[in-house]
Structure 1
Amino acid sequence: MIKNVHGNTVDHLGEAILSGHYAVGASLPAEPVLCESLGVSRTVVREAIKSLVAKGLITTGPKVGTRVQPAEEWNWFDPDVIGWQSRAGLTPDFLRDLQDLRRVVEPAAVRLAAERATPEDLAELETAYAGMKRAVDLGGDYITHDLAFHRGLLRAAHNRMLAQMSKALNALLRTSFEISSSRPDGSKLSLPLHRAVLDAVVAHQPDEAERAILTLIHGASDDIEHVLGSRQRLPQLNLPASQLKGA
């Protein structure tokens, strides 16, 4: 997706913060300096600052200026923040936090899905699974269908909070799936694990569904630990922000 000047400015500053160019507690340059260095108007800079405040990256005030917030204040459910972290470099702590989150959220959600899934929900899950299998057998985009499968599981729980969380978790889960699929035969090996989850949901067996999703998550954790141990380059989620243009 091509971003406008505002989006590119937010990306530029967000990446600078996540990469440590602007350290925690440090002040961002004054507005005129940012305008000149980025080649954008004051309006663009002000709107970008508002966006970064909303994402928890910075705080502003008449006496403190514009300062970078500690990482625990950042909105880690924001896809932009996840993308910036990816480009700055995924860390072992970040990836392990992600796996902890999956272990907390997904088993409970899948139990609900096994109890509440409608025929429409099951059809959606079958479609996503078929896309995954087609990608394994014939080649293609496995990760997009994998994400659709997990979003479908959360929606099938028929809980409004989990349905909203599925949107926020999308970028986080993609991080895990990118790494898992980067291993040789990673997608092929995970396919039957997904089938086991789906079969349990179709059969409306919450205990079996929970066990199956935990097996899948543990497999993803093993993949991540293997990649971290091998020191291979971690995948990036997005291309860098495009070159800024004057406004």
Structure 2
Amino acid sequence: MTTKSPAPRATFQEQVLEQLGRDICSGRYKPGVVLPPEGELCERFAFSRIVIREAVKSLSAKGMLDVRRKVGTVVLDPRHWNLFDPDVIAWRAQSTVVDPAMTRDLMELRRIVEPAAARLAARRATEQERQALRSAYAAMERAVAGEGDYVTADLAFHATVLSAAGNQFVRQMQEAMNAILKASFRISSEKPGGPAFTLPMHEALCQAIEEADEKAAELASLRLIEQAEADLLEQLQIEQHASAQVA
């Protein structure tokens, strides 16, 4: 019997990076605000100045911070952020602050990229890629039946479609697209009956690509995105109502 190796623990720098990134995306540190001094951050996280500096350097590289002499480390406006950075996408999606503009823009990006990728996949997918797609779909079926993680299987399914499009630029976008899709699937999978409801839509896309039916693949992809958008809007309304009740 083989034992599963535990996931590697995040380094000190990664822990600080993750928390500060979340703090910025949640609005704890708003654009234009100067971060607390290094010494204060060291005290908060109980790590050395070197660890704090490396985390700040990483966030600066993502366009979120700007280190200014005689001023300090300033939080930049989101328009300067690397919005395709998977970490930035994840932090924004996980924020307790609902961002309707981000939700809208993510869904618009999906509409721009995925249906065209599905059409190309129907045209260009190799036999190996079609088999991989069918395997990912089978994993989704098992997850709906209670065996396995649905979001992981769903991500594998859509990643295969993007890869099968055979476009080098789409492949370069895959890491960012995976983060975008994960944010969307997390909400859909939490909706009671959501995964089971969308399963036939995924099968339609899988079958269209297997049959090299470009138009059917494009339409199946659009239907999936429309359903995801409806789920996200429903969740947005629920969260807004909950916030109004608390207020």
1:111 corresponds in structure 2 to: 119
Q: Any gaps of 5 or more consecutive residues in structure 1?
A: 235-247
Bigger Cα displacement from structure 2, 180-189 vs 100-109: 180-189
Runs of 4+ in 1 over 4 A off after TM superposition: none
C-alpha separation in 2, matches of 1:53 and 1:231: 31
Q: Does 1:180 align with 2:188?
A: yes
1:122 corresponds in structure 2 to: 130
Q: Does 1:88 align with 2:95?
A: yes
What SS is found at the alignment partner of 1:191?
helix
Q: What TM-score results when the alignment is normalised by the length of structure 1?
A: 0.88
Contact preservation (8 Å) 2:23, 2:29: yes
Query: How large is the RMSD of aligned CA atoms in angstroms?
Result: 1.9
Q: Which amino acid aligns with 1:215?
A: R
CA-CA distance at 1:77 after TM superposition? 2.3
What SS is found at the alignment partner of 1:26?
coil
Bigger Cα displacement from structure 2, 175-184 vs 150-159: 175-184
CA-CA distance at 1:116 after TM superposition? 0.6
CA-CA distance at 1:64 after TM superposition? 4.6
Q: Does 1:222 align with 2:204?
A: no
Bigger Cα displacement from structure 2, 160-169 vs 133-142: 133-142
How has the CA–CA distance of structure 1 residues 233 and 142 changed in structure 2, closer, same or farther, with 3 Å as cutoff? Answer: farther
Q: Which amino acid aligns with 1:9?
A: V
Q: Does 1:78 align with 2:85?
A: yes
Aligned identity (percent) is 46
C-alpha separation in 2, matches of 1:227 and 1:19: 18
How has the CA–CA distance of structure 1 residues 159 and 233 changed in structure 2, closer, same or farther, with 3 Å as cutoff? Answer: farther
Q: Does 1:169 align with 2:177?
A: yes
Q: Which amino acid aligns with 1:78?
A: D
C-alpha separation in 2, matches of 1:50 and 1:125: 39
Contact preservation (8 Å) 2:90, 2:183: no
CA-CA distance at 1:8 after TM superposition? 0.8
Q: Which amino acid aligns with 1:175?
A: A
2:24 corresponds in structure 1 to: 17
How has the CA–CA distance of structure 1 residues 23 and 221 changed in structure 2, closer, same or farther, with 3 Å as cutoff? Answer: same
Q: Which amino acid aligns with 1:173?
A: L
Q: Any gaps of 5 or more consecutive residues in structure 2?
A: 1-6, 243-247
C-alpha separation in 1, matches of 2:29 and 2:53: 17
Q: What TM-score results when the alignment is normalised by the length of structure 2?
A: 0.88
CA-CA distance at 1:96 after TM superposition? 1.8
1:201 corresponds in structure 2 to: 209
C-alpha separation in 1, matches of 2:225 and 2:125: 21
Q: Any idea what the Cα deviations from partners look like across 1:22-49, whole Å, max 9, x if unmatched?
A: 2101111222332233222121111111
Q: Which amino acid aligns with 1:167?
A: E
Q: Which amino acid aligns with 2:104?
A: R
CA-CA distance at 1:227 after TM superposition? 2.1
2:37 corresponds in structure 1 to: 30
